[in-house]
Structure 1
Amino acid sequence: MTQNATTDLSVSAPVPVAIGDLLVGPGQPTYVIGEIGINHNGDVDIARRLIEVAAEAGCHAVKFQKRTPEICVPEEQQGKIRQTPWGEMTYLEYKRRVEFGRDEYAEIAKLCDAYGLQWFASPWDVPSVEFLESFDVVAHKVASASVTDHELLRALAATGKPIILSTGMSTLEEIDAAVDLLDRRKLVIMHSTSTYPMPEEEANLRTITTLRERYGVPVGYSGHERGLQISLAAVTLGAVAVERHITLDRTMWGSDHAASLEPAGLQHLVRDIRVIEKALGDGVKRVFPGEEEPRRRLRRTTT
């Protein structure tokens, strides 16, 4: 643990983090991320349609995943045979099949710019960080699986970009070590539970408060549940960002579709987040204009 130990109870209150031209943190609109991830199934046309879905729903950003398959697929898994929609192939061949390269990301960047959407990805290895930096992404996302990959975290910190750190399947001690490698002034932590789909009893939303008080940085929520209620409850507990997987159809082939939101669900999520933001108010007790007439008509004052 460094001298700026993450368990220090004197951490300051969170201040917003600049991601591109947006601020993410207390007092700002909830930053909504539509995670496309690998739900494009290696098809740039599906990615294009999901970007359009995110833009129409009012998301601020879309997020992908970027891997170097030869690094990320364990050697003992590479030759295993997998049944896929494109026929029988090795696991390494499958991971190559669904991985986007430079041409696809160039198209993604162009389309996101046209829609006014930010985009970034979760790099799973150092060469993928370098790849994403070549597109000058506005931020980098650390997947929950990478919280203990300190080589990757150091490479991400060296970019100087804002970092969004998911914390699923992590202990506080593992998060402490990760945070100590990153610049807290450019850090947003996401409470998350890495069960797909996630049952409500594993949501543990009060951890949002725990993380905010422990690290003194903005804290959001990355959800893998079915439905909207838990993500909306996270906003009422102070989540400054909400990330949800999105799909064209939850029955599509692939590991993440079942825990994703379809277009209508995403639209409802963003709509309801904006309603909640208005309803939360500022905490100052006052008599509102709509109460004035009932107050005159109904209020009794006695001594």
Structure 2
Amino acid sequence: MVKNTSRIFIIAEVGVNHNGDIEIAKQLVDLAYEAGVDAVKFQTFSAEKVVSQQSLQLDMLKKLELSRQDHIELNDYCREKGVIFLSTPFDLESIDFLKSLGLEIFKIPSGEITNLPYLRKVGSLNKKIIISTGMAELEEISKALDILVASGTAKEKITVLHCNTEYPTPFKDVNLLAMLTIKNTLRVKVGYSDHTLGIEVPIAAVALGAEVVEKHFTLDRTMEGPDHQASLEPSELKAMVESIRKIKNALGDGIKRVSPSELHNREVVRKSIVASREIKKGEILSQENITAKRPGVGISPIEWDRVIGRVAKRCFKADEAIEV
């Protein structure tokens, strides 16, 4: 039997699509909650600690920062709405800050998968961990897992997300089956962080066994910012969540059985052995005088060989169900 009892954990990735505005961030939380997601995720960083002073990204990232007070406010706001607040830390101080907020799940971004001090610090917290693997080879993922476990986090608490970091990701580069390679080779729970356009790939990931799905969303794809273009708009996010919930329900438990909804169809579409013409009492039943027709209320044609050669105990009209 295939276990299929856990709910798919869906993360609505705001990231920096709030453009540094706490009110837009709250509006996105509202819309994510209405869409039915389990968590809303932001990004926690100090631009000057993430990139060098010479980086062309510095000015852009400064505009996208949320203050510590913004984080506290958003954490409280998510709690009030009944949705989990998550945020990805991009530096060591941000890890400590998110710990102080009481986060029970830590999300490691693709870019930190080779950052030993970072991995050790997150691993030492012994919290649930979700780690993205964009740009990573299988060996690098395995090494990161070893570091997290050695630092104090049980492997059972870690979920590895297959990911491609190109925004948007071309379909030919998704390589969704790699998620199964990660699962089967590393013996770990898996999920999928999506950067493709549309909702098809996340839904396919669930069908393949993803336990966690992460997807960027925005108020409007035409807004200025680095991630808006590859993000879902609110109506699309809701459609994705609804589709994932339906697909999860449709996967079932893997046991082949007759479902209650189709049981009544048996008599309608299956067949019974009937007389193909009038049969007299004492006549030998043969392929010349019997056939199989609907409905399936009499002897099943799977019993054909058992019926052939028997003596008719009474007369049968054409199309009458045979009794032996």
TM-score category, normalised to shorter length: 0.7 to 0.9
Separation in structure 2 between the aligned mates of residue 160 and residue 73 of structure 1, nearest angstrom: 28
Letter in 1 for 2:225: G
User: How do 1:1-303 and structure 2 match up within 5 A?
Assistant: 27-77=5-55, 80=56, 91-182=57-148, 183=153, 184-300=155-271, 301-302=300-301, 303=304
Separation in structure 2 between the aligned mates of residue 67 and residue 291 of structure 1, nearest angstrom: 54
- Aligned partner of residue 204 in structure 2, secondary structure: helix
Q: Is the 8 A contact 2:4 2:251 kept in 1?
A: no
Separation in structure 2 between the aligned mates of residue 173 and residue 292 of structure 1, nearest angstrom: 49
- The TM-score, its normalising length taken from structure 1, stands at 0.85
Separation in structure 2 between the aligned mates of residue 96 and residue 104 of structure 1, nearest angstrom: 14
- Aligned partner of residue 147 in structure 2, secondary structure: coil
Residue 274 of structure 2 corresponds to: none
Separation in structure 2 between the aligned mates of residue 114 and residue 54 of structure 1, nearest angstrom: 14
- The TM-score, its normalising length taken from structure 2, stands at 0.80
Separation in structure 1 between the aligned mates of residue 36 and residue 268 of structure 2, nearest angstrom: 42
Partner deviation per Cα, 1:30-65 (whole Å, 9 max, x = no partner)? 100001111111000110000001100011001111
Separation in structure 2 between the aligned mates of residue 38 and residue 76 of structure 1, nearest angstrom: 21
Displacement of 1:145 in angstroms is 0.9
Q: Is the 8 A contact 1:119 1:138 kept in 2?
A: no
Higher Cα Rg: structure 1 or 2? Answer: 2
- Aligned partner of residue 152 in structure 1, secondary structure: helix
Separation in structure 1 between the aligned mates of residue 82 and residue 133 of structure 2, nearest angstrom: 28
Letter in 2 for 1:213: N
Letter in 1 for 2:197: R
Letter in 2 for 1:54: A
Q: Is the 8 A contact 2:162 2:191 kept in 1?
A: yes
Range with greater deviation from structure 2 (173-182 or 231-240)? 173-182
Letter in 1 for 2:82: G
Separation in structure 2 between the aligned mates of residue 276 and residue 190 of structure 1, nearest angstrom: 19
Q: Is the 8 A contact 1:33 1:243 kept in 2?
A: yes
Displacement of 1:93 in angstroms is 4.1
Structure 2: give runs of 5+ residues left out of the alignment: 272-299, 305-324
**How many percent identity over aligned positions?**
40
Partner deviation per Cα, 1:244-274 (whole Å, 9 max, x = no partner)? 0010001110111111110000100010011
